[in-house]
Amino acid sequence: MLSSSSTSERPVVVVANRLPVDQVRLADGATEWHPSPGGLVAALEPVVQASGGTWVGWPGAADVELEAFDADGMHIVPVSLSADEVADYYEGFSNGTLWPLYHDVTGEPVFERRWWDAYREVNRRFASAVAGAATEPGSVVWVQDYQLQLVPALLRERRPDLQIGFFDHIPFPGWEIYARLPWRREVVEGLLGADLVGFQRGADAANFLRAARSTSGVVTRGSVIERKDGRQLRAASFPISVDTAALDCLARRPETLARAAQLRSELGDPEVLVLGVDRLDYTKGILHRLRAYGELLDEGHLEPPGTVLVQVASPSRERVEEYQRLRDEVEATVGRINGDHSALGRPAVHYLHRTFPKEEMAALYLAADVMLVTPLRDGMNLVAKEYVACRHDERGALVLSEFAGAADELRQAFLVNPWDIDGTKAAIRRAVAVGPPESSRRMRAMRRRVIEFDVHHWANAFLGALAMVAEPQG
């Protein structure tokens, strides 16, 4: 069993669009807290808990006014958003403009001036909330992700004493794409308010440095940026990871092992269990994957019920039109594959449109012979790392997109270009056929990587670099 390394001694104020828990209103009007979706929360929660820090964020529903409270070893500071702000700042500018633009235009970005105004206004509100929550002079504030890119500069205006870090969880696009953004200078200047701007991959940091030179006339030397006012900051890569020891420990529990065996038996004891786990998002390449998988069944290379695909697609951004369209297309495609290839009571594809607790996910990862992680574009993709962290048995094969940040590190996966359907089919066939000596060798090497470079390593590396660069000017 692995031992867990811990993170930063100093309490950190983390600022993210979402709190680690979402407030959900039930049919009878009562409310409940549910864990928030996505890799950001999974990665940062242990970090904030370990430092006894503060988390500033939105509770996930419109017009929820809440006082600050303590939960699970964290001080929680909710930031309220109106229904219009949810529509314009969150669904609009964050997820209708920036999300598709930053993911290399895998969806069509919409440039709407009203959305930009709401984005600025909500970023101001977050900056004010953080300025109030960071009670200690010189506190460390760590701003997260593309929804809050203006916060570093807004916060520095209010609290020049703070050490301000920013981490971008999603890709930062090349200049030719980024340059389309009508507010490209304002966004870069928001980020230049930080002492340290972190990215998933070196390529993202290089793209940002280029955008900073082109829009703000700053001078860069390696990762160092010299602003016109003389202040220096850095932009560099810090690949995010998972809490490997915690996942390894969860996956070794007798209940998890028993549940994994039970899952396989509930699925009819297939020879090969193939698994996909994604937020239902067009960047995740679910349709391309299903096309490849469906063709393998059509051509008889894979044969149900001996081979079964389980696709978990967790609901996401359901009021955004593009996501509604995607859901329809994914469900029609699954229906077509099942119509052609299922037997009574034995579907070829088990499609699950919901989220599962981490215990169930660990059992699924352990049960799966082949894991398909084939996004068209992804900042990191922590599902790939979670799968590896859970496979203490050194079994299982990972098919991984070259366009996920994780591909820079998990080189022993079966790497694919997800746009290349034939290439994806060939990689799935190789992963299905790979025997234990080779699959164990690959898995061992990938596990070495996620064991050494876990989420605590990521947070320590980022916060250590922030402390080096930040010069409190209080």
Do residues 134 and 155 touch, judged by C-beta distance below 8 A?
no
- The DSSP string of 416-465 is E-TT-HHHHHHHHHHHHH--HHHHHHHHHHHHHHHHHS-HHHHHHHHHHH
Q: By CB under 6 A, is residue 155 in contact with ligand F6P?
A: no
Query: Which residue among 88, 145, 243, 378 contacts ligand F6P (CB under 6 A)?
Result: 145
Do residues 13 and 140 touch, judged by C-beta distance below 8 A?
yes
Q: Cβ 230 to ligand F6P, closest distance in Å?
A: 33
Q: Cβ 202 to ligand F6P, closest distance in Å?
A: 19
Question: Would you give the binding string for ligand F6P spanning residues 38-67, x where CB under 6 A is met?
Answer: xxxx--------------------------
The interface region with ligand F6P, picked from 34-42, 43-51, 80-88, 268-276 by CB under 6 A, is 34-42
Query: Which residue among 103, 159, 317, 442 contacts ligand F6P (CB under 6 A)?
Result: 317
Q: By CB under 6 A, is residue 22 in contact with ligand F6P?
A: no
Residues 453 and 356: their CA atoms lie apart, in Å, by: 26
Cβ neighbours of residue 67 under 8 Å, at least 6 residues apart? 78
Which is catalytic among the residues 22, 103, 168, 169? 169
Residues 472 and 196: their CA atoms lie apart, in Å, by: 13
Which is catalytic among the residues 195, 204, 378, 454? 378
Q: By CB under 6 A, is residue 385 in contact with ligand F6P?
A: no
Q: By CB under 6 A, is residue 241 in contact with ligand F6P?
A: no
Q: By CB under 6 A, is residue 201 in contact with ligand F6P?
A: no
- Report, in angstroms and rounded to the nearest whole number, the Rg of the chain calculated over CA atoms: 22
Q: In the structure encoding, which two tokens stand for residue 313, read together? A: 């697609």
Of the two residues 37 and 268, which places its CB atom closer to ligand F6P in the complex? 37
Q: In the structure encoding, which two tokens stand for residue 386, read together? A: 């979670």
Of the two residues 103 and 341, which places its CB atom closer to ligand F6P in the complex? 103
Query: Which residue among 11, 37, 138, 423 contacts ligand F6P (CB under 6 A)?
Result: 37
Is 378 assigned a catalytic role? yes
Q: Cβ 288 to ligand F6P, closest distance in Å?
A: 20
Of the two residues 379 and 396, which places its CB atom closer to ligand F6P in the complex? 379
Q: In the structure encoding, which two tokens stand for residue 197, read together? A: 């701007």
Query: Which residue among 13, 14, 18, 371 contacts ligand F6P (CB under 6 A)?
Result: 18
Residue 38 backbone dihedrals phi, psi, to 5 degrees: 100, 160
Count of residues that bind ligand F6P according to CB under 6 A:
12
Do residues 428 and 372 touch, judged by C-beta distance below 8 A?
yes
Give the CA count within 13 Å in the CB-facing half-sphere of 306.
7
Question: What are the strands of the beta sheet with 349-352, ordered from one edge?
Answer: 349-352, 307-314, 272-279, 370-373, 397-401, 414-416
- The DSSP string of 197-261 is EEESSHHHHHHHHHHHHHHH--EEETTEEE-TTS-EEEEEE------HHHHHHHHHSHHHHHHHH
- Tell me whether strands 54-58 and 69-71 are parallel, antiparallel or unpaired: unpaired
Is 169 assigned a catalytic role? yes
Q: Cβ 37 to ligand F6P, closest distance in Å?
A: 5
Of the two residues 85 and 369, which places its CB atom closer to ligand F6P in the complex? 85
Q: Cβ 474 to ligand F6P, closest distance in Å?
A: 30
Query: Which residue among 97, 200, 207, 316 contacts ligand F6P (CB under 6 A)?
Result: 316
What is each CA distance from 433 to 299, 420, 457, in whole angstroms? 16, 20, 34
Of the two residues 169 and 447, which places its CB atom closer to ligand F6P in the complex? 169
Q: Which position has the token pair 């950001």?
A: 40
**Secondary structure letter of residue 5 according to DSSP:** P
Q: Cβ 90 to ligand F6P, closest distance in Å?
A: 7
Q: Cβ 98 to ligand F6P, closest distance in Å?
A: 10
Q: By CB under 6 A, is residue 11 in contact with ligand F6P?
A: no
Question: Would you give the binding string for ligand F6P spanning residues 95-124, x where CB under 6 A is met?
Answer: ------------------------------
Query: Which residue among 169, 289, 391, 457 contacts ligand F6P (CB under 6 A)?
Result: 169
- Would you name the residues annotated as active-site residues? 169, 378
Task: List residues binding ligand F6P (CB under 6 A).
Answer: 17-18, 37-41, 145, 169-170, 316-317
